[in-house]
Structure formats: structure tokens, C-alpha cells
């Protein structure tokens, strides 16, 4: 049985030489083989045949070629395994070698086979079972959940803590996950927890890690962790098993709280509902424990460090330019500035729920941050000097 390329070579050689005997001698095959494929070719030209090789013969050839390809690929991979790690062929290089040798195979197939070979022949990853003493380790992570708040569907951030010893869970919803949200949920958790653990485990989130390559802790978060007295421990990259407790917690909390209800009037209502769901989870006995999560928490509190005496002030100081409407822009919202404030730049203190406008260290105005995206906050009293000069602007002003 000949492949399509071999049959094509027989026909081309016959066209050049013109005799069956000469073709057979040039290709090193029997004259009967040349006659067979010439006869089939002529029958194909006369419409007596739909293909040169019978269908079953083509299938046999394909199987034989696949077997040869498998042997060649395995040969390359076995040779590759004997080289130092940094000198081994990549899947792309293996593909190019096979392509140069005439194998008709796609890169995705080669890449899949290389991955399967590594999984089959690589070292088996072994995990070390951990024991978590009371008060030592807590894990933190974010998840996402789709909710409808005040009639608008959006994606919200689900921050969660899981205590490794008692398996106590704590969670809260936020519209985004900046460093302010990270610190806010930590403060709320530690107050609920009743103390401070030895360490909290994180993946390489940007709000905690300022440089992923060197695993440098963000300076402001390092100050925050020093204030409360816990150690920051980072997972290895792409090793979710190192914080598997909180990964499982997020999945369980999301299913328990929001699998049957996802519409709420406000984010506060959604968080109250979430708090009830977590309370229900914490009243149950985990499969690997002999008491409820709440009972385990009571035992754990005996081993916690005390909370600091002074509260961490969770805000960021920034500056903003004031536009001609006496407004500033902060995170997509516009806020009015009192027209009695003369400079064109103002210092603000950005809290998680409000914006404070400052003048030489004194607060001159405060705005609540609206839940609705893109909404401006304008207070009419911030234009008391301007309105007497422009009385016609009052009727259609955005403040009213």
C-alpha cells in the first residue's frame, strides 16, 4: 500500500521516463505496483473510479502513518527528557522538527501531545498535609458574584476570610477591590474575629504586592499589617492549593447566599443578607471537625493577639483640579466644591464611603460616594456666592 505522496511520485516518474520498467527501476519497486497504480489512474480519468486508492486501503495507510508519527514523536520527547531543563526542546521546536521531516501535523496537536507526555512521565506532585494551630493562620481572597442592585445588574466583589483551624468564614460585598476595600474588610473581620492571628495568607493581588517578581509587599499595606501585628504570607504563583481553604469558602458562600436570590434594593441590604448566610454556615459542623465553626472560633479567640488600641484611619490623600463648574472628578463621580474656595487645586481625603474636601488640614465639605456608577453629587449651598450673580442659572441647575 502506498501513500498519496508515493502514488504521486510513481505517476510523475512514469511521465518523465515513459515506461513501466524504467519507472519501477528508478523507484526501486515492482513493475506490477507501477501497473496497478497506472491502471487505477487511467480508470479515474475515464470516470470508472472515484479515487486511486480504495477507501479501506486509505484508512490502513493513515493508521500506519499515525503509528509511525507516534513513534517518531515519542522518540523526540524521550531524547528531550535526557537534556538539562533549560536546554530542552519546546513544543514549538518539536513541531518545526516534525514539519521539516514532512509530517503533516498541526502545532496544537503537537503541543497537546507534549503536555500529555509531561503529565505522564513528569514527577508526581506530592502535597504535605498541614496542621493549623489555633490562632495562627487565616486565608483571604476575592471572588465575583452577579447581583441586581436597585434594578441594575452588575458584577460585585466578594471578599472572604477563612480561618484554617476552626474553618470560620467571614465575607462582605464591595463594588470594587482597591486597597481601601481590602483594608476595610480586614478591619471588619478582625473586629468580628475578636483579635489578630499570627499570619494571613494571600495570593499575589496587586493591592497587597507592589512587585510580583520580587514579591515586595506594598508599603501602605505593610504599614497596615504592622499596625495590627499580623504577618503577610504570599502563595506561590499559580498554586491555589496553598490557600485552598478560602477558595472552598468562596464557592460555598456564593452558593449558599446567592444561588436562590440575587436582587436587592441596595448594597447594604445585600451585605445584610450575606451576613445571615455566613451565620448559617458558621452554625454548622464541618465534615472534618467535631464542633461548629462558631464553637471553634470561641476556642480560637483564646490564642489571638489583642487588637491595637488605636483605630487605623482608612483613607488616601489625593489632589484634584477644580473645573469651571466648581467640581472635581473622583473615580467616575463628580463632586461640587464650595465656590468660596479660591485655589484651582484641592486636597481630598478619599474614604471607602465618602470624599472629604480639605483646606490647609481643615475639612470644608464632605460627600457620600453614590452607589450608582457615574452619578454626580452637587450641593446647592456650594454655589451661594455664584447664584446671586447668575440668578437665571438657578431654575435649570443640576443641583436642583
Label residue 142 by pLDDT band (50, 70, 90). very high
pLDDT in tens, 247-298: 889 999 999 999 889 999 999 999 999 999 999 999 999 888 889 999 999 9
Q: Where in the chain is the domain with CATH 3.30.420.10?
A: 137-303
Q: Hey, what's the cell of 186?
A: 480586614
pLDDT higher than threshold 50 for residue 382: yes
Q: What is the grid cell recorded at 203?
A: 495570593
Query: Whole-structure pTM over 0.75, yes or no?
Result: no
User: Kind of pairing, strands 137-149 and 263-264?
Assistant: parallel
Q: Residue range 364-389: average pLDDT?
A: 89
Dihedral over alpha carbons 67, 69, 75, 81 (to 10 degrees) = -120
Rounded Cα–Cα distance for residues 37 and 40 (Å): 5
Q: Inform me whether the pLDDT recorded for 153 exceeds 50.
A: yes
pLDDT, one tens digit per residue, over 116-141 is 888 888 766 644 555 567 888 999 99
Residues near 352 by beta carbon (within 8 Å), at least 6 away in sequence: 180, 181, 184, 314, 369
Task: Select from 277, 268, 97 the least CA-distant residue to 174.
Answer: 268
Level-2 CATH architecture, domain 137-303 = 2-Layer Sandwich (3.30)
> Which pLDDT belongs to residue 62?
44
pLDDT above 80: residue 239: no
Residue 341 binned pLDDT confidence (cut-offs 50, 70, 90): very high
pLDDT-based confidence at residue 13 (cuts at 50, 70, 90): confident
What is the tens place of the pLDDT at every residue in 170-189?
999 999 999 999 999 999 99
Least confident of 70-74, 150-154, 245-249, 350-354: 70-74
Question: Sorting pLDDT into bands at 50, 70 and 90, what band is 64?
Answer: very low
Amino acid at each position: 500500500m502506498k501513500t498519496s505522496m508515493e502514488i504521486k511520485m510513481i505517476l510523475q516518474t512514469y511521465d518523465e521516463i515513459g515506461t513501466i520498467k524504467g519507472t519501477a527501476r528508478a523507484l526501486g519497486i515492482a513493475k506490477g505496483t507501477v501497473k496497478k497504480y497506472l491502471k487505477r489512474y487511467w480508470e479515474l480519468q475515464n470516470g470508472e473510479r472515484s479515487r486511486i486508492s480504495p477507501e479501506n486501503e486509505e484508512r490502513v495507510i493513515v493508521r500506519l502513518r499515525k503509528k509511525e508519527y507516534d513513534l517518531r514523536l515519542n522518540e523526540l520527547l524521550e531524547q528531550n527528557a535526557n537534556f538539562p531543563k533549560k536546554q530542552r526542546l519546546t513544543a514549538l521546536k518539536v513541531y518545526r522538527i516534525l514539519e521539516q521531516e514532512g509530517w503533516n501535523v498541526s502545532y496544537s496537536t503537537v503541543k497537546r501531545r507534549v503536555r500529555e507526555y509531561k503529565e505522564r512521565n513528569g514527577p508526581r506532585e506530592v502535597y504535605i498535609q498541614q496542621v493549623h494551630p489555633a490562632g495562627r493562620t487565616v486565608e483571604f481572597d476575592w471572588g465575583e458574584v452577579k447581583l441586581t442592585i436597585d434594578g441594575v445588574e452588575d458584577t460585585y466583589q466578594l471578599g472572604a476570610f477563612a480561618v484554617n483551624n476552626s474553618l470560620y468564614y467571614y465575607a462582605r460585598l464591595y463594588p470594587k477591590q482597591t486597597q481601601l476595600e481590602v483594608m476595610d474588610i480586614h478591619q471588619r473581620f478582625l473586629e468580628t474575629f475578636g483579635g489578630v492571628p499570627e499570619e494571613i495568607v494571600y495570593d499575589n493581588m496587586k493591592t497587597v504586592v507592589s512587585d510580583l517578581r520580587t514579591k515586595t509587599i506594598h508599603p501602605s499595606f505593610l504599614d497596615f499589617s504592622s499596625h495590627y501585628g499580623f504577618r503577610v504570607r504570599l502563595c506561590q504563583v499559580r498554586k491555589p492549593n496553598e490557600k485552598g481553604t478560602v477558595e472552598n469558602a468562596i464557592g460555598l458562600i456564593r452558593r449558599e447566599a446567592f444561588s436562590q436570590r440575587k436582587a436587592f434594593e441596595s448594597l447594604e441590604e445585600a451585605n445584610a443578607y450575606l451576613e445571615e448566610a455566613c451565620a448559617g454556615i458558621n452554625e454548622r459542623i464541618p465534615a472534618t471537625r467535631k464542633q461548629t465553626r462558631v464553637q471553634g472560633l470561641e476556642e480560637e479567640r483564646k490564642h489571638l493577639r489583642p487588637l491595637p488600641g488605636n483605630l487605623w484611619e482608612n483613607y488616601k490623600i489625593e489632589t484634584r483640579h477644580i473645573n469651571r463648574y466648581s467640581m472635581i472628578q473622583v473615580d467616575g463621580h463628580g463632586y461640587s466644591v464650595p465656590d468660596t474656595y479660591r485655589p484651582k487645586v484641592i486636597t481630598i481625603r478619599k474614604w471607602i464611603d465618602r470624599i472629604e474636601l480639605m483646606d490647609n488640614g481643615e475639612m470644608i465639605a464632605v460627600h457620600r460616594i453614590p452607589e450608582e456608577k457615574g452619578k454626580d453629587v452637587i450641593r446647592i449651598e456650594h454655589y451661594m456666592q455664584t447664584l446671586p450673580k447668575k440668578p437665571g442659572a438657578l431654575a435649570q441647575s443640576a443641583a436642583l
